[in-house]
Amino acid sequence: MNRLLAVLRLAMWAAFSKPSRAALLIATLGGGAAGVAVAAGVMSGYAREMERMTFGAYARSLVITENTFLDDRFGPPRLADIPRLQEALRDSVEAWAAWRSATGDVRYGREQANLPVRGVLGDYRREADMPLQAGRALTLAETQGADRLCVLGAGAARQLFRNDPAVGEAIRINGISCDVVGVFAEAENQLAERYRQSVFAPFTAAARYFENADAFGSAGPNEVSQLTIVLTPETRRRAALMTADQTLRRSHGVPQAQVSPFEYADPAAPTRALERQRDLIGRLLITIAAVTVAVALTGYAAAANAAVDMRRREIALQMMSGATGRLITAQVLIEGLIIGLAASVAGSALVMAGAGLAQTFARFPFELNPGVIALTFVAGALTGLIASLPPARRAASGSPALSARG
């Protein structure tokens, strides 16, 4: 233990005895660590931003609908399935929403259009990812009630009101009046685009007032067109899907031997396109990071060799005083490890400062999470160790007498 502490002290002294040389080594190796951090941070931020812009909540959701290819007696999902799924999935559920969709004859003054009427319950805005342009959205309490309130998508508002204000006005849906409390702006991701022509109303109000007799088939008042379960980011979607399917089979009395009466609108199909994009940008960034690390490794190895040459007499005196080749090797390697960790700190600080500026002024998709920081430290430490191997072997194999005379 005492010998290890002595070696550590010697390595610390050797690493920082000449500040200018230490600064040069840290800067050289810090560039490689920063390159790894930038590549990992861009990959993480790019993936998150592309997922948000392209798929919104669907990227990690179970979207449960009736299996229309199966002629059965089980029908669509029901409101009663929501608490069952919440109990089965427990902490894996981040949010949920129930949808009841039909087409309605919507009128305002002389304007008329056949528009999708969406009865909503729960956190429906995870999917209808549209900022408010005017007024307000339906609250959770309102979606659980039967008030004749509605919010218009941007396209629906434009069709009915042109450029006139819509909030505070009343429209008629299949002859029934509905007060407009808000208007959404354009969608913020591709999947939410389908809601821009929609009229949103509380679930029970849509079922009770705004549907024609044949608008939703022969569905009962508690049956839904679509049930969405948004999963937490750390949840494995495949395992959650199997749990949800087993739960719904039990509640609807469907044996495992039969085809499931429900579809889960697997977002993995569109997600595959996103994954291909991630892979492409990932290969590019990994190549850039590898080149950066290789340049840093080469530069640091050359600088470390020069530093060992400058300390030949010191090393020779250590060996003449009884230090073994193994001890000298350990000292130089620990010195490289210390420089590598210091370079990781410097590289991470540089990247964090640059990332903060990029996100503030350019809204660049960069995510510097703890995993990226840990990867930076590992990369810096490994690079310092690997680059120190040749000078360590060279220092340990030299002749003490010749080194002392040189």
- pLDDT of amino acid 69: 78
Helix ranges, 311-369 (H): 312-320, 325-361
The residue whose two tokens read 């509380």 is: 202
pLDDT in tens, the chain (406 residues): 666 666 666 666 666 666 776 777 777 777 766 777 777 777 767 666 666 555 556 667 888 998 877 776 678 899 999 999 999 999 999 999 999 998 999 999 999 999 999 999 999 998 888 999 999 999 999 999 999 999 999 999 999 999 899 999 999 999 999 999 999 999 877 778 889 999 999 999 999 999 875 544 456 788 999 999 999 888 888 899 999 999 999 988 888 888 888 988 655 555 556 566 667 766 776 777 677 667 766 776 777 677 666 666 666 666 666 666 677 777 777 777 787 788 778 777 777 777 767 666 656 667 766 766 777 777 777 777 777 777 777 666 655 544 444 4
Contact predicate 128/184, CB 8 Å: yes
**Strand 170-173 to 262-263 pairing:** unpaired
Q: How far apart are CA 188 and CA 154, in angstroms?
A: 12
**Strand 149-152 to 176-184 pairing:** parallel
**Beta strands of 30-158 (E only): which ranges?**
61-66, 93-108, 111-122, 132-135, 149-152
- pLDDT of amino acid 370: 73
**Strand 149-152 to 61-66 pairing:** unpaired
SS (H, E, C) 238-303: HHHHHHHHHHHHHHHCCCCCCCCCEECCCCHHHHHHHHHHHHHHHHHHHHHHHHHHHHHHHHHHHH
Q: Which of 105, 200, 112 is nearest to 160 (CA)?
A: 112
* Alpha carbons within 13 A on the beta-carbon side of 382: 11
Contact predicate 53/190, CB 8 Å: yes
- pLDDT of amino acid 403: 45
Q: How far apart are CA 301 and CA 388, in angstroms?
A: 6
